[in-house]
Amino acid sequence: MISTITLKNKPSIIETATVAGPKEGESRLGKFVDKIYYDDTLGEKTYEKAECKMLSYAIGDVISKTKIKESEIGALVSGDLLNQIISSSFAARKFNAPYIGVYNACSTMAEAYAIGAILVDGGYTDNVIAATGSHFSTAERQYRYPLELGAIRPPQSQWTVTGAGAGMISSRRGNYPKITSVTFGKVIDFGVTDANNMGAAMAPAAADTIIRHFKESGKSPDYYDLVVTGDLGALGSRLVKKICFEKCVDIDRNHVDCGELIYNIDEEEFQGGSGAGCSAVVFNSYIYKKIIKKEINRVLFVATGALLSTLSTQQGESIPAIAHAVSIETEG
Amino acid sequence: MISTITLKNKPSIIETATVAGPKEGESRLGKFVDKIYYDDTLGEKTYEKAECKMLSYAIGDVISKTKIKESEIGALVSGDLLNQIISSSFAARKFNAPYIGVYNACSTMAEAYAIGAILVDGGYTDNVIAATGSHFSTAERQYRYPLELGAIRPPQSQWTVTGAGAGMISSRRGNYPKITSVTFGKVIDFGVTDANNMGAAMAPAAADTIIRHFKESGKSPDYYDLVVTGDLGALGSRLVKKICFEKCVDIDRNHVDCGELIYNIDEEEFQGGSGAGCSAVVFNSYIYKKIIKKEINRVLFVATGALLSTLSTQQGESIPAIAHAVSIETEG
């Protein structure tokens, strides 16, 4: 069965909103982000509450930018990295809209866009918000070590992005970027067990979805101006290009990775950015604005997720991964 | 905007599969469950691996019962209560099908059915599996106390069901139960802070969805043979009926709750069953079989979820809750 879903009505992404922390704000893509907070607590008592606040702001901002009433929103599709996706659920509490909680780790941005696009494409509702985010300090202390420990980071590691992004998918017509197809990912596990090497764990899943997308859609990589992966980082990006190349799908020329793009290059974050907020911020700011300005017209957005937990790692499991792809196109 | 989605093509639930643990097997609904394991480790080294195995069995069984090839499955929509929904993601690793990870706590069964129904109804794919599960010992040690502690349970508490359930939603026509509409829930928080009193936290969310469903669909509660809530338990069931009654929606006569139904009445589990596996097992065994036998023809299935985490409770937050409704009908 063909798993790439072509959307006949091509729902529009009529607006996006992004929020980011200090490190992201000062980095090379900071100027594309709507709101930057130089205090990464956002005035909250805990980092978890700060993460939720960022996500709430992104959702609230996309609503106010579009002037769509909360009662006109058919669904808020959101998830995040915290246990029981509390950032999303607590953010959803603030909005009078149906809520669909989703989780596919750092691929959640593409997953949410994919589900939202189907809801709008099928005529089930007119407006859906897709949103996610992450926070360095919540992810670090939930997945790795207490912040106070100052654990040394290995060179294959990435830096969780403090940021959130939201997009409004709508049946509204006009000169907006359109979601034209969706390829849901399969869970792929190549047996990587190093929880500090997410790029290696996720690259095979990204390659699987990318290859499947091209095989099923009949398109070639050249069709797209950009093939944007989520947060593979520098090493993972090299791996995904290598795997695709070996399978005769050459994305070398037009591949970029949100994790590679987001930060200035310094040694602290090694392979680049990661976290659900990574692709959420980069796609909904930099990439979306490039599409709006017609600098690029066709993008395959492939957010990637590592489906582990601290407990699965403790129990000796390897790291399953997934990648969902969404194609976004605009008339040139 | 009307948030109750009417499904024009009325996708079929062509088959279900259920797996349960010893306590559930010995209880009043045990005879309706397909597979009962009297060793709640299922031969695995950890309870978490056992939970994943149960879920894998439910998914595998519904595939083999329907004789649909894995390659013909458009999506596996699944989630669970473990951090980062590892039971679902690790189960999905075993199947060659696209995976959509979802999480709305114990309302996940209805959420998965709702998303799956839309995917099939819209013609995006022909077959979708909706699945979830839970395990007493994993939930207890993740959300509450170490099992070895033998903590005393308060009288308003419920007992997490050890079990899993899966259903195959299909475009196949025939004399199958059909999903006719979907009402996605909103996040409702009445300020309940007692993490042992899930029934009270979830009842307002269930009432909101039920009332919205009837208001928007123009149906009266008498339309349904049963209004089945997920896992409100005895106290929560009384509350949801009271709230609905006050809003002039009288479900007293045809309301049942999976948490109230599943166990024999004894003091140990107080208010009844809970957990994502509760509605998964009860709906996909007892309720589904009642529909198949035409003992009942119209069911509004309203699974309920408490969207807390241990951390949100530790940080002094109240408990937001949600309920998604799916109507299942068969020709009488």
Summarised one tens digit per residue, pLDDT across range A69-88 is 999 999 999 999 999 999 99
Pairing of β A127-134 and β B178-183? unpaired
For residue A70, the SS3 value is: helix
Q: What is the ipTM of this complex?
A: 0.97
**Are A103 and B101 in contact (CB < 8 Å)?**
yes
> Which residue among B46, B82, B93 sits closest to A187, beta carbon to beta carbon?
B93
A203 within 8 A of A223, measured Cβ to Cβ: no
For B238, the token pair is: 């009384």
Tens place of pLDDT per residue across chain B (332 aa): 678 999 999 999 999 999 999 999 999 999 999 999 999 999 999 999 999 999 999 999 999 999 999 999 999 999 999 999 999 999 999 999 999 999 999 999 999 999 999 999 999 999 999 999 999 999 999 999 999 998 888 989 999 999 999 999 999 999 999 999 999 999 999 999 998 999 999 999 999 999 999 999 999 999 999 999 999 999 999 999 999 999 999 999 999 999 999 998 876 778 999 999 999 999 999 999 999 999 999 999 999 999 999 999 999 999 999 999 999 999 86
Please name the residues in contact with A138: beta carbons below 8 A apart, sequence gap of 6 or more: A47, A48, A50, A51, A81, A82
Q: What is the mean pLDDT of chain A?
A: 96
Residue of B1, B97, B104 with shortest CB distance to A101: B104
Q: Select from A8, A5, A12, A2 the least CA-distant residue to A179.
A: A12
pLDDT of residue A247: 96
Find, among B331, B132, B312, the residue nearest to B231 by Cα: B132
Note whether B118 contacts A118, CB cutoff 8 Å: yes
Residue A153's pLDDT is what? 87
So what's the pLDDT on residue A13? 98
**Residue of A2, A71, A80, A84 to mutate when probing chain B, most B C-beta within 10 A:** A84
Q: Which residues of A touch B186 (CB under 8 A)?
A: 92, 96-99
Q: How confident is the model at residue A268 (pLDDT cuts 50, 70, 90)?
A: confident
Please report the pLDDT score of residue A152 as a whole number: 87
Contact B84 A104 (CB under 8 A): no
Tens digit of each residue's pLDDT (9 = 90 or more) over A53-67:
999 999 999 999 999
Q: What's the confidence (pLDDT) of residue B182?
A: 98
A210 in Cβ contact with A302 (< 8 Å): yes
Q: What is the pLDDT of residue B332?
A: 62
Q: Which residue of chain A is at minimal alpha-carbon distance from B89?
A: A307
- CB pair distance less than 8 Å for A105 and B121: no
B235 vs B192: CA distance, rounded Å? 14
Query: Per-residue pLDDT for A267 more than 70?
Result: no
Predicted confidence at residue B234, as pLDDT, reads 95
Given this model, what pLDDT does residue A332 score?
62
User: For the residues A207-213, what does the mean pLDDT come to?
Assistant: 98
pLDDT reported for residue A160: 96
- In the predicted model, is pLDDT for residue A269 greater than 80? no
Residue B294: its pLDDT value, please?
A: 96
Distance of residue B189 Cα from the nearest chain A Cα, in angstroms: 7
pLDDT, tens digit (0-9, with 9 covering 90-100), for A120-146: 999 999 999 999 999 999 999 999 999
How close B232 gets to chain A, by Cα (Å)?
19
Quick check: A220 and A213 in contact, CB under 8 A?
no
Map residue B311 onto helix, strand or coil: helix
